[in-house]
Structure 1
C-alpha cells in the first residue's frame, strides 16, 4: 500500500486512456575482504538502497512514450579508505539517472524505439542514446530484435591520498565511450517450447580503470593506481529456453558464454521455475551459477611486477565461481489489489506486487543479500 500512495500523485496528472507504471524498491548489502580501493585487501562492506519508477504512456493505438528514473543511495566502507584523514566523497553517495523514449508499431509486425538519458554521481557524469528495431512473422512465431546504444562518460578523478600530486596519480584522459550492438532471435518451436538466441558486441575506449583503486607491487611500499588498456571488446552469446512443464509450472533456462580481450572468459547458467500456486499467486525459485577466468593483468596484493604494463587487484577481474539462489513471489488478483478514483472518469489500480530476495556468494569470500519490491499500476478510464 506504501507503493500505491507514493505513485498515485504522479499518475493523477496523466490524461492517457491507460498508463502502465512500475515502482521498484531495492536493498542490497555485501561484505568481503578483497577491496580494490586498498589494493585487494580490506573490507568490501557496502549497502545500497535504490528506487525506480518506469512509466509507459500510450499516445494512440500504435505509439507510446516512456520514462524511467532511478535513484540509489549507497554507503561503502571500502571507498571510505580513499582518504584516511577525512570521510571520502564516495563513502556515502547518490547516483541518479533519467531516460525518456518513444516506441512505435509502424506495421502490425514491425516496431522501433528510440531513447536518450543520463546519469550522475560524485565523480562522473554520463549521457547515452539508444535505439531498437524488431520484426515478427505474420504468425508471431519468429521475432528478430536489433538494438544499439552509445554511452559517453566523463570522470572527475579522485586519487588515493598518499599519491596525490605525484607521478603515480596521472591519467591520460577522463573520458570513456561505450558502444553496444545486440541481436535477439526468438522462435516458438511448439506449444510448449520457445527458444531465444542472444548476441552482443560491446566496445569501450578511454578511461576504463578506476582512479582510486590502488595496486601494490613486489618490494615496493608506494602504490600506483590501477592501469588498464585504453580499449576493450566484449562479445557474449546466450541461449534462453522457456518450456511449459504443465499448467502450473514453467521452466526458464538461460546460458551465456562471455569473452573479452582482457583475457576473461565466463559461463553463466540460470534456472527459474515459476509455479502457479493459484490463479493470482506465483512462486518463482531461481538459481544462478557463474564462473570466470582472471584478466591477464590481475594479481593479488603485492604480487605485481613493477615493470608490468597493466595491473589491477580488483577481484571482480579475478578467477572465481559464484552462486546466487533466491525466490520471487508475485501476487496479482484478476481485478487488481486495490483501486482509487483519480477523477470523474479515471481510476488507478494496483495490479500486482512482486517480492524477490536472493543470497549471493562468491568463491573469494564475498557474500551479498538483496531484496526488491516491485509494484505494478495501471491508470484506466472508467467504462461509460
Structure 2
C-alpha cells in the first residue's frame, strides 16, 4: 500500500513496498520527476542528463572523488479503498526508508557505484489478509542492493554502463540488471541515450484466508513475473537559457501481474474471488522535459508525460519545479504535480463486478482519478563544503558537501492522501 510514482506507469501503486507494476523502477519515491534525492546522486539516469553549464558534457575532475550519499525518508499514507479488502477499508501505512549510495572512481574515465536500500513499514491493509490482527503481515522489512559500472570513451563524448541488483521482502524476491549508453554530439549540445532494464520476480504466494483452496487459486499458473523496459532519450540545448529532452519507453511484462492477496467482491450475494488480471501487459509512456534558466538565480523545470497501456489506462502528468538560488550556497525549490488517468477496463469498485467477467480488480490504483502533489525542498551546499575532517586516513580528507531536505503532500480524488519527509547528506573524499 505504498505510494509509488514512476516514470513508466501512470500513477500505479502496490499494496506493499515492492517493484512489480513497472519495469525500470530504480528511482521510486514521492515525486519522481521533480529531482528526488536519489536522482541528484545517481547520474546514470539519462532523463536527467541536462546540465546547468549549457551542454551535456560531464566535467572530468568530478570523477576523482569518492562520493557517499545518505538518503532517508518517512512516509505516511491513509485512505479507505484498500484492494486487500476488495476496494474498501483502511489504506493506512507508515514507511521508514534509508538508502546509501557510494560512487568510487576507478580511474579518470570509469566509476563503480554501490547502493543499499532498507524499508521498514507498518501496513494496516495487509494485516487484513487473515483474521489474525496484528499478525506478521502487518509489519515487514524490504531490503535492496545495487551495483553499477560506468565508463566514458572518446574523451567523454560517449558513456556506457551496466547495473545489477536485487531486493527481497517476506513474500517475494527480485533480481534485475540492465545496460545504458549515451552519446554527445553537436559540440556537446545534443545527447542521445538508450537504457534497457530487465526484472525477474518470484512470489511466495499468500492468499486471503477464506480463499486458500485449490478451487479459488486454480487460475494462478505461475509465481513468477518478468518485466522488460527500453527507454530512448534525446536531449538538446536550444539556447543558452533553454534546454529540452524528449523520451519514450516501451515496457513489456509477463507472468503473475495480479496480487494474490487482493480480494474482489461481486454483485451476486457474497461472491468473492482473488484479483485476476491478464498475464501480459504493454506500457507506452512518452514525455518531454524543458528547463528554462530565467536568471542566474531562478530556473523553471517543466515536465509532461502521456501514458497508455493495454489495460485501458490513459494518463496525463504535468509538473513544474522552480529552483530559486537564494545565494551561492543555499537554494529552495517549490514544486507542483498534477496527474489525471482513466480507469482500467478491468476495474470496478466493491461489489460492482459481474461473475461473467474474465478479468477483475477492485484496486483503486487502476481506477479513474486525478491527483495533486505539492511540496518544498531546501538545498544547502557551500562551495568549500559544510565541514572537513579526517576519518579513515591521516592523509585523505573527507568533505561534508551538502544537506537536502524535502517535504511533499499528496492528495487523490478517491480520498487517498499522503505526506513524506525526505533528507539527504552528501560526502566526498580524495
TM-score, with length taken from structure 1:
0.93
> Counterpart of 1:12?
none
- Cα separation, 1, equivalents of 2:300 and 2:114: 31
Gaps of 5+ in 1: 1-15
> Counterpart of 1:154?
202
Contact 2:64 2:108 (C-alpha < 8 Å) held by counterparts? no
- Cα separation, 1, equivalents of 2:303 and 2:186: 27
Picking from 111, 133, 143, the partner of 1:96 is 143
Larger Rg belongs to: 1
- Cα separation, 1, equivalents of 2:135 and 2:208: 10
The alignment's C-alpha RMSD in Å is: 1.1
Between stretches 81-90 and 132-141, larger displacement belongs to: 81-90
Contact 1:82 1:88 (C-alpha < 8 Å) held by counterparts? no
- Cα separation, 2, equivalents of 1:354 and 1:139: 33
Picking from 186, 189, 207, the partner of 2:235 is 186
SS at match of 2:205: coil
TM-score, with length taken from structure 2:
0.84
> Counterpart of 1:165?
213
State how 1:222-241 maps to structure 2 within 5 Å. Answer: 222-241=271-290
Aligned-residue offset at 1:166: 4.4
SS at match of 1:167: helix
Picking from 22, 26, 29, the partner of 2:76 is 29
> Counterpart of 1:369?
419
SS at match of 1:344: coil
> Counterpart of 1:8?
none
- Cα separation, 2, equivalents of 1:302 and 1:274: 46
Aligned-residue offset at 1:282: 0.3
Contact 1:360 1:367 (C-alpha < 8 Å) held by counterparts? yes
Contact 1:235 1:259 (C-alpha < 8 Å) held by counterparts? yes
- Cα separation, 2, equivalents of 1:367 and 1:32: 6
SS at match of 2:375: strand
> Counterpart of 2:128?
81
> Counterpart of 1:247?
296
Q: Which has the higher strand share?
A: 1
> Counterpart of 1:221?
270
- Cα separation, 1, equivalents of 2:262 and 2:292: 44
User: CA-to-partner distance for each residue in 1:66-106, whole Å, 9 max, x for gaps?
Assistant: 00111101100000000113544331001111011110002
Q: Does 1:289 align with 2:338?
A: yes
- Cα separation, 2, equivalents of 1:240 and 1:84: 48
- Cα separation, 2, equivalents of 1:346 and 1:274: 34
Gaps of 5+ in 2: 1-62
- Cα separation, 2, equivalents of 1:113 and 1:136: 15
> Counterpart of 1:139?
187
> Counterpart of 2:6?
none
Q: Does 1:316 align with 2:348?
A: no
Q: Does 1:51 align with 2:101?
A: no
Aligned-residue offset at 1:107: 1.5
- Cα separation, 1, equivalents of 2:98 and 2:239: 39
Between stretches 97-106 and 310-319, larger displacement belongs to: 97-106
Contact 1:89 1:122 (C-alpha < 8 Å) held by counterparts? no
- Cα separation, 1, equivalents of 2:121 and 2:354: 34
- Cα separation, 1, equivalents of 2:65 and 2:318: 37
Which 4+ stretches in 1 moved above 3 angstroms? Answer: 86-89
Picking from 344, 347, 351, the partner of 1:298 is 347
